[in-house]
Amino acid sequence: MIMKLENLLAKMTLEQKLAQISQCNAVYLHVGASDDVTGPEQELSLKKEEVVAVGSTLNYSGAKEMISIQKEHLHNDPNQIPLLFMMDVIHGYRTVYPIPLALGASFDTALVEECCEMASEEMVLGGVHVTFAPMVDLVRDPRWGRCMETTGEDTYLNCEMARAMVRGFQKSGKAAACVKHFAAYGQAEAGRDYNTTDISERTLRDFYLPAYQAAIDEGAEMVMTSFNILNGIPSSGNKWLVKELLRDEWGFDKIVISDYNAFREMHIHGYCATEKDCAEKAIQATTDIEMMSACYLQQIPTLIAEGKVSEKQIDEAVLRVLRLKEKLGLLDNPYLYADEEQEMSVCLCEKHREIARRAAEKSAVLLKNENVLPFDKNKAKRIAVIGPFADKTMLGQWHCHGREEDGLGVFSAVKRMLPNAEVFFAQGCDEKINATDCEPISEAVELAKKCDDVILCVGEDTYMSGEGMSRAELRLSKAQQTLIREVVKANQNTVVVLFCGRPLVLTDIIDDIPALVLAWQPGTEGGNALANLLFGNVNFSGKLSMTFPRSEGQIPIYYNSYRTGRPFEAPYGSWYQDMPNAPLYPFGYGLSYTSFAISKPEISADTMKIGESLTVSVDVRNTGDRSGETVVQLYICDDYASLVRPVKELKAYQKIGLKPNESKKVSFEITEEMLKFWTANGKFEAEIGSFTVWISDSSNVKDGVKFSLIN
């Protein structure tokens, strides 16, 4: 096959090669055939002939359009090289499952893999070849809108989820995953999207880089560079990041694609004085495909003529693109699996809905429950479902082709599940994050008074988090807080269901809330999932994938921080005068309708030789009266090291189910690999010395045991 590609390359002109490494939005490919190319391309100074010449395209409406675009493209391309079709299938193509931050909270990699496999099955029928997922940017700042797209603040959990997502998307061999955004986009200063990231190499390597590497080790076919500057250099033109680290050190020899117009943004950042510089820096960094701008198309010929870039460099980039087209089978069949009829029948089928529903059930987190839940479905006669999101299908910003009308809101789902109950709806207040007044509140309060059970649906709407949706303040709107207080006053048998794409600050209102369920943005089947959870058909098992701060003033706040030399909350200690250091809810926390007891850990030995391993075990018992699942979490601290280590780090977890009064021995193997970090020697290794181990059902750990790593 390589000969075939080399032969193909030999036939191509420079312009045709540059087309292969350029990508524009599909909507302009149709328009490109006529004169009036308007919209972003115009601002990006793409000429009509450039728009139709690209080698790949993104974001279009499915099989029918894909086939039409591909036909039109092949008609214009003398080399008959099909387009690669790419799309943001982040948490579902048409059947939308919970946002990735929620999937992280499921701590269920098998389920996450199943979700991605389902999405992949739907998307290939829609003509998608590459999904711009998984997004694995570690995040410690809930002001950043794209928290929703990550699996949270923990490196180990993000690595596990990244691997599961790549497996799911690529398992069929019919599609490719593109891991993004390389690198450390989630460390945006002040939580403001697209803002600066400035990180020491050790922090990068210990926390921010492993999940990208995990996705690549799992076989991700593509990497997308990020918008941000990383230590002063925009990622798309960052030679250390892409050429030296990703390619030379990690051995990644597949496609690197820029983010949307990120080449030209290197000019805006103040890194490249001209678009020619943008093209030169990008190709020297070995970023292959330019998304939604034309620096390569318009500037590379000059750079080659000036001897600043060689055509061989272009050939290497083009070959990486052709290899993926060939690997996916595109060169043999330009339409692959695109099938409009199949797409319609498979999308939203019951099997896919069941997967999405199970994911929503397993990722919801029960944060508080003062004898309110579960509601008794046999007794519930009159149920009030109140709030701005009481009957909305909460999909999440990256819902691809998902539609609100594909699903049910909580109100409709409860009505359908309990046909004999009287279920009432009240809007309660406006949904905007800064809404102050809530006109219809009296209607909501009166309704609450006359009902048995009350479900209050508040938080953020789908578009209030996601790309470009950072927030400086994370509290519920005054209107929503008023609504909660007044409704709870009217009826204590109230649960607040919180929809959000990021941790919010609930400190002002939490004492007024008798029961609190974190639903995240649960997707197409979210309403049905919540009905099952609230009425006890299913038990909660989710655990927080991100810390919930007590205040914006604590941010960045995350569980695996460093101890400091004054770890005490008093004058001259590392503290705040006006509030505790502790968050409102910690990473790894979540309640259940039952309770679990975890014994003190037993360790197989108190020393471990380099290259050997230890076993640590606990007994877990279900001490309540309902079956349930919990996530047993293993945390380790390297007590003293050449570079100070976090007070604890998640190194493994097991999600287990137990019947009432059932107990199970849960064991973990402690390996040298778990103890490695980027040491003062500038390499990834474990150091001899003492370690502390905890096993817990959240990052609030106690009863640690010690062991020593010895030579």
The residue within the footprint of ligand GLC, chosen from 41, 88, 141, 697 (CB under 6 A), is: 88
Tokens 């006109």 identify what position?
439
Residues 471 to 510 in contact with ligand GLC, rule: CB under 6 A: none
> In whole angstroms, how far apart are CA 65 and each of 27, 37, 62, 70, 702?
9, 18, 6, 8, 57
Task: Look up 453 and say whether it is catalytic.
Answer: no
Distance in Å, CB of 25 to ligand GLC, minimum: 9
Per-position x/- string for 31-60, each x denoting binding to ligand GLC as judged by CB under 6 A, each - no binding: ---------------------------xx-
> Measured from the CB atom, is 316 or 467 closer to ligand GLC?
467
Integer Cα distance of 366 and 543 in angstroms: 8
Asked if 544 and 139 touch (Cβ cutoff 8 Å), the reply is no
Residues 100 to 129 in contact with ligand GLC, rule: CB under 6 A: none
> Measured from the CB atom, is 260 or 585 closer to ligand GLC?
260
Distance in Å, CB of 32 to ligand GLC, minimum: 18
Number of residues that bind ligand GLC (CB under 6 A): 8
The residue within the footprint of ligand GLC, chosen from 180, 377, 543, 651 (CB under 6 A), is: 180
Integer Cα distance of 113 and 103 in angstroms: 10
> Measured from the CB atom, is 149 or 218 closer to ligand GLC?
149
Burial class (CB in 10 A: 0-12, 13-18, 19+), 688: middle
Distance in Å, CB of 262 to ligand GLC, minimum: 8
Q: Assess 260 for contact with ligand GLC (CB under 6 A).
A: yes
Which of 462, 635, 631 minimizes the C-alpha distance to 544?
Answer: 631
> In whole angstroms, how far apart are CA 596 and each of 364, 374, 547, 636, 655?
18, 17, 22, 21, 13
Distance in Å, CB of 290 to ligand GLC, minimum: 13
Secondary structure class of 412 (helix, strand, coil): helix
Alpha helices (H) along 547-648? none
> Measured from the CB atom, is 282 or 529 closer to ligand GLC?
282
Cα three-residue angle 674-679-680, rounded to 5 degrees? 170
The residue within the footprint of ligand GLC, chosen from 259, 361, 431, 461 (CB under 6 A), is: 259
> Measured from the CB atom, is 60 or 691 closer to ligand GLC?
60
Q: What is the full DSSP assignment across 477-539?
A: PHHHHHHHHHHHHH-SSEEEEEE-SS--B-TTTGGG-SEEEEEE---TTHHHHHHHHHTTSS-
The residue number whose beta carbon is nearest to ligand GLC equals 132
Per-position x/- string for 207-246, each x denoting binding to ligand GLC as judged by CB under 6 A, each - no binding: ----------------------------------------
| DSSP structural state of residue 115 | H
Integer Cα distance of 692 and 705 in angstroms: 6
Which DSSP helix (H) or strand (E) runs through 365?
A: strand 365-369
Q: How are beta strands 290-291 and 494-499 bridged, if at all?
A: unpaired
> Measured from the CB atom, is 289 or 620 closer to ligand GLC?
289
Q: How are beta strands 677-678 and 684-685 bridged, if at all?
A: antiparallel
Asked if 675 and 610 touch (Cβ cutoff 8 Å), the reply is no
Per-position x/- string for 433-472, each x denoting binding to ligand GLC as judged by CB under 6 A, each - no binding: ----------------------------------x-----
Tokens 């789902």 identify what position?
413
Asked if 434 and 471 touch (Cβ cutoff 8 Å), the reply is no
Distance in Å, CB of 318 to ligand GLC, minimum: 21
Distance in Å, CB of 409 to ligand GLC, minimum: 27
The residue within the footprint of ligand GLC, chosen from 132, 169, 182, 208 (CB under 6 A), is: 132
Q: Assess 687 for contact with ligand GLC (CB under 6 A).
A: no
> Measured from the CB atom, is 468 or 660 closer to ligand GLC?
468
Tokens 């809101």 identify what position?
409
Integer Cα distance of 564 and 515 in angstroms: 35
- Active-site option among 141, 259, 277, 288: 259
Q: Assess 422 for contact with ligand GLC (CB under 6 A).
A: no
> Measured from the CB atom, is 130 or 285 closer to ligand GLC?
130
Name the site residues for ligand GLC (rule: CB under 6 A): 58-59, 88, 132, 180, 259-260, 467
Active-site residues, by number, are: 259
